[in-house]
Structure 1
Amino acid sequence: MVLSLVNLCAKEVVSDYSSSRCWLGTVPRELYGPLLEAALSYCRPLAIGDLVQRWPERTLAVGKKRRPGQTPPNRLCVQALLLAVVRGLAEKRCALQVLDLCGLQSEDECVEDSMGGWSLTVSLCSMVLQAKVAAQKGVRKDGERERKRGLETERNRDGAVKRDRGSGGRDMEVEKAREEEKEGGKGVKVDCLRGLWVEEGEEAVMGVRRRMEMQKRNGTVDLEGGSSDPDSNPNPVLVHIWADLFVNARSWERVRGALTSQGPLRLHCRYLRVEELQAPSVAALLSLLPKQGLLGLDIRYSSLGVSGLALLLPLLAPFPHLHSLKLHYCNLDLLRAVPGQDGALKDMSQGLGGLKGLRQLCLTALRLPGHLRLLLSSLSQPLEVLELPYLSLTPADLAYLSCSPHASSLQRLDLSENRLDESSLPSLRRLFSQAALSLSQLSLCGCGLSDGLLGALLPSLSCCRALQTLRLALNPLSLAGLLSLVRTATSIPSLRLLQYPNPLEEYEAGLPPVPSSAQLLDWPLAEEAEVREAILFQLEELVRQSGRSRDLLLTSDLLNFTKDLLEVE
């Protein structure tokens, strides 16, 4: 990618940190953005700290400004940015009020020294809690200064009063007060040390009153004069932070502390991912989130069961903007009958029906055969993304899906690892026909599609004129079936990526006639490179003859297949 002149100049400026003190005082506010982008791209943490600490704009969005193919900032740069936000709270030149870090985390383990979602979440929560402690220390210091100033003023006033009064006059006033008390007068207490009169039932000591007023303003006492919790009178929020949070059992307590913190930094969540948490813990976490901000929830590797999901789904209804729900490996195995299971399923269906803004639903390895109608029919709006890998779908499930309101609005569909046979073909044809104008991504990996089954589906697939990605890895295709697939793929103008399965001719001898996806995954490929090279040459020749060699990518890489099923979008 060709960089603009501004970006090239920004790179040179931030590369020389020794001169930053000079140019920071004169640089226009419009150049802070390019300078920060260059500092993040070329790992200049000191420049990042200076720029963010003096950020001139109200909003700073970091995670969404990465260019395609650009790697995320490394760990040191992110830590420098977070530290600068805290320091900027005391900087008069910093105008920052909203910090958007959504999308900043890196889930790609191949990126060296990057900060993943869990590490970023822990760092954010630590920053919020540290800012609160620093603010409380500042309040205590201000209160101590005010207290000392009040005591000094009181001493000066008392000295002046004592000088104005004579020792004789003071003795006469004290003696007069004693005589009035003996005669049963109004009842006055005498403070002989200070020379002040305090009427019974009324406190008139000005020094104490001033200290009380200062303590009330600082939130250290309540209206009755007793001690109170500093959180009962929180400091105003100076910076609102939006981020995607990743919570598990190790970070749960810290995240809860940050979300309940009432300091100068307020943490908000846009996409929440939780792992290995029980349903009550997830419910408690949801209760701490603001209702207007959450867009997506991703629950993974948690033993929720049907009853746990029935408990959680109604708690999602108050989030009006929630449009994405992902449930991966949450132990919903309905192949085994459990008492009360039908009632919990109905509760789960009603809970899904309460999610009025839901557009994306991903259910991985929940094994819900025959229950797709019960789950999806309760939704008030059609889905745009539906991912159902490892769900043990039945022909009845596919028949419902092909006739449902969701079929014509689907943009992404994943039916991977659901065994398909001839009884499923009519429903699949009808489904592809309904989704022909909207479907852009389709995954049928590991579905047991042989040459005959796939050949029956290819005419329907060729009608999907919006299809951009087609994944068919781990299906038992011969070389003839693979060549037929590539010919169909080249005839779809919108298609940009075809993930094809290795043909059976590339494997070592001994495979069953119709191998499963697990057998194809574990079976070794033939060691003869000539076979693979010859097959690859035929595929490339077909693409070249169709004129699609520049805009259509063919791959048999299984890493993408695994990543699609297990990684966050």
Structure 2
Amino acid sequence: MDSLLLLCARRIVAQRPLPALPADFYPVLFQAAFLDGRALVLQDLVATWPFPVLNFQQLLGHLDCAGMIPTLTVSKPSCGRMQELVEPRHQSSGCWLHVLDMTAVMDDPEWRSEWTSTKALARACVEVSRHQQKFQRRGSKRHSGCSGATTGEATPRPPGMDVHADLVIDRIAYGFLCEALQPGAVGLLRLKCREFQAVNISALEIVTLLESLDPSCLRRVELPVYLGLADLLMILPHLSRFPELRSLKVRYSKLDLEHLTPESAIRLRCVARQLGMLSGLRELNLNSTRLSGNLHQILCDLQAPLESLDLGNCCLVPDDLTFLSQSIHAPALKRLDLWDFNISQDLLEPFRLLLEEASASLLHLDLTHGRMDDSHLAALLPTLLCCSRLRFLGLYGTSLSMAMIKNLLQKTLKLPDLHLVAYPIPEDCYKWDQTKFDRNIFFKFVDWELLSAAEEDISQLLANSGRTDLVWTFRTFDHGALDFFSL
């Protein structure tokens, strides 16, 4: 139910132009205009914002901000109106908008075919810069006397505005970003990237953009899939200029390290050395990279311990886990992702030792689709219960019985911080169809009646425990995973 203040704000934003209002009303007016889809009112509010910082995420909280950036930058305002956002206002108090923080505002899929948030922001920066140049040229002419000499003082240049954003750069957005970030481009809107996600652009194009970015606030880089060692060697040297870089994602890369040639072995060592130059790196995502025995080669030059490591579907062997458990990283790990981890292939004891080393710090453990059955979990359970700070446990897609799931639930109630467990559909809830098979592997289907009963049993156990803060679910898409920066 809306508060009385929000109800009043919704009445106010229903009229345009807005009446003169105290500065303290602006945040709730912004929320009301967003909730009611009043794009023009949102633009009015941003153009007259009375505070130095406007942070969308703080204002809107959990609300879906998708489509916000195109709303403010594509559909009117004009270039002149965008310039109003960054020219000095309230000069008597010396206060005007300095930072427009659009981080954590995701692209709306309905916009992506034509207007991504990144493209809209880049286009706005370019258009405002062009408008500024035209305005300055006209101003210079007006202040020139008949002899061409300047009469009067030059108009003081407005300070402009920093626009903080998480950029998703695809083929559509790349050209606009290049123009917005080109060397020597000085406009009223200064685009600063917090998270850089490259999609379907080449390594050379990534380097072009990285060289143009302001180095002060970039904290995460996510590279496109299917990059090779040569591509990484082209990109990694350019990441050392970003002192705040904490997270690097190199997922689904073409690093077939199971079959190293002498040339690829040399390149791998060079990649490791470049990673070692990233002194602030705390999260590394190597998901679906075929490491298989070469994890030490990649991590050996890192000078500081990683706090988050994604090794899902990486074809790990015992030596990889042994190295990791004996490294500086294990005691510091807060997040460990081992999706599609084949624990049955002599990996049980090395993994148990790794879990033991990480138990004091581990907050997030994801073993989704790991090849784990009741006997494996029974062997791991004593060590798992030592992970006293654990918040998330992902076991979806493993082969556990209902009895083992209930046992796990009852045992893990002692973990005070555990908030979310993604458990598998119990093996007892499958039925086998022997009339349909492929290469002698029988298909199994969920018996929804049995699953509903199992779900009810788990809910009852939770209710009886009094742990109302604890969520157990097999619907993994209902709950987002913890991001490294939220740990």
Q: TM-score, normalised by structure 2?
A: 0.87
Q: Find out whether 1:131 has 2:128 as its counterpart.
A: yes
Helix, strand or coil at the partner of 2:181: helix
Helix, strand or coil at the partner of 1:554: strand
Corresponding residue for 1:543?
Answer: 462
* Deviation larger for 376-385 or 480-489: 480-489
Helix, strand or coil at the partner of 1:241: strand
- Looking at structure 2, the residues matched to 118 and 300 of structure 1 have their Cα atoms a distance apart, in angstroms, of 20
Helix, strand or coil at the partner of 1:423: coil
- Looking at structure 1, the residues matched to 310 and 448 of structure 2 have their Cα atoms a distance apart, in angstroms, of 36
Q: Find out whether 1:104 has 2:97 as its counterpart.
A: no
**What amino acid sits opposite 2:458 in the alignment?**
L
- Looking at structure 2, the residues matched to 357 and 568 of structure 1 have their Cα atoms a distance apart, in angstroms, of 14
Matches within 5 A, 1:59-208: 59-67=53-61, 69-72=62-65, 74-75=67-68, 77-79=71-73, 83=77, 85-89=82-86, 92-93=89-90, 95-106=96-107, 119-146=116-143, 150-151=145-146, 207=147
Corresponding residue for 2:371?
Answer: 448
Query: Retained in 1: the 8 A contact 2:369–2:398?
Result: yes
The size of the alignment, in residue pairs, is 468
Helix, strand or coil at the partner of 1:401: helix
- Pairwise CA distance, 1:8: 4.1
**What amino acid sits opposite 1:543 in the alignment?**
L
Helix, strand or coil at the partner of 2:30: helix
The equivalent position to 1:552 in structure 2, one of 457, 470, 485, is 470
- Pairwise CA distance, 1:44: 2.2
Bigger proportion of residues as helix:
1
Q: Find out whether 1:297 has 2:221 as its counterpart.
A: yes
- Looking at structure 2, the residues matched to 351 and 277 of structure 1 have their Cα atoms a distance apart, in angstroms, of 21
Q: Which has the larger radius of gyration?
A: 1
- Pairwise CA distance, 1:100: 1.2
- Pairwise CA distance, 1:322: 0.5
Q: Find out whether 1:279 has 2:182 as its counterpart.
A: no
Unmatched segments (≥5 aa) in structure 1: 152-206, 219-234
The equivalent position to 2:451 in structure 1, one of 526, 529, 532, is 532
- Looking at structure 1, the residues matched to 217 and 246 of structure 2 have their Cα atoms a distance apart, in angstroms, of 11
Pair 313,281 (structure 1): closer, same or farther in 2 beyond 3 Å: same
- Looking at structure 2, the residues matched to 9 and 290 of structure 1 have their Cα atoms a distance apart, in angstroms, of 41
Helix, strand or coil at the partner of 1:246: strand
**What amino acid sits opposite 1:253 in the alignment?**
G
Q: Find out whether 1:457 has 2:376 as its counterpart.
A: no
Helix, strand or coil at the partner of 1:251: helix
Matches within 5 A, 1:170-249: 207=147, 210=148, 238-249=160-171
Pair 117,323 (structure 1): closer, same or farther in 2 beyond 3 Å: farther
Superposed CA deviations along residues 151-195 of structure 1, whole A, max 9, x for unmatched, are 4xxxxxxxxxxxxxxxxxxxxxxxxxxxxxxxxxxxxxxxxxxxx
The equivalent position to 1:369 in structure 2, one of 286, 292, 295, is 292
- Pairwise CA distance, 1:378: 1.3
Helix, strand or coil at the partner of 2:463: helix
- Looking at structure 1, the residues matched to 388 and 12 of structure 2 have their Cα atoms a distance apart, in angstroms, of 48
Corresponding residue for 2:212?
Answer: 288
Corresponding residue for 1:316?
Answer: 239
RMSD, aligned α-carbons: 3.1
**What amino acid sits opposite 1:249 in the alignment?**
R
Helix, strand or coil at the partner of 1:96: coil
Query: Retained in 1: the 8 A contact 2:86–2:189?
Result: no
Superposed CA deviations along residues 312-332 of structure 1, whole A, max 9, x for unmatched, are 222211211111111122222
- Looking at structure 2, the residues matched to 293 and 86 of structure 1 have their Cα atoms a distance apart, in angstroms, of 24
- Pairwise CA distance, 1:490: 2.7
Query: Retained in 1: the 8 A contact 2:53–2:98?
Result: yes
Pair 440,543 (structure 1): closer, same or farther in 2 beyond 3 Å: same
The equivalent position to 1:35 in structure 2, one of 20, 29, 34, is 29
Superposed CA deviations along residues 545-569 of structure 1, whole A, max 9, x for unmatched, are 3332x121111114369x7599999
- Looking at structure 1, the residues matched to 88 and 482 of structure 2 have their Cα atoms a distance apart, in angstroms, of 46
Query: Retained in 1: the 8 A contact 2:429–2:448?
Result: no
- Pairwise CA distance, 1:414: 0.4
Query: Retained in 2: the 8 A contact 1:40–1:73?
Result: no
Query: Retained in 2: the 8 A contact 1:73–1:114?
Result: no
Helix, strand or coil at the partner of 1:320: coil
Helix, strand or coil at the partner of 2:431: coil
Query: Retained in 1: the 8 A contact 2:43–2:72?
Result: no
- Pairwise CA distance, 1:422: 6.2
**What amino acid sits opposite 1:9 in the alignment?**
C
Superposed CA deviations along residues 326-368 of structure 1, whole A, max 9, x for unmatched, are 1122222222334411111111111111111111111111111
Q: Find out whether 1:326 has 2:325 as its counterpart.
A: no
Matches within 5 A, 1:8-27: 8-14=7-13, 16-18=14-16, 20-21=17-18, 23-24=19-20, 27=21
- Looking at structure 1, the residues matched to 470 and 114 of structure 2 have their Cα atoms a distance apart, in angstroms, of 32
Superposed CA deviations along residues 17-54 of structure 1, whole A, max 9, x for unmatched, are 14x44x22xx2222222222322233222321222111
Pair 246,529 (structure 1): closer, same or farther in 2 beyond 3 Å: closer
- Looking at structure 2, the residues matched to 29 and 537 of structure 1 have their Cα atoms a distance apart, in angstroms, of 51
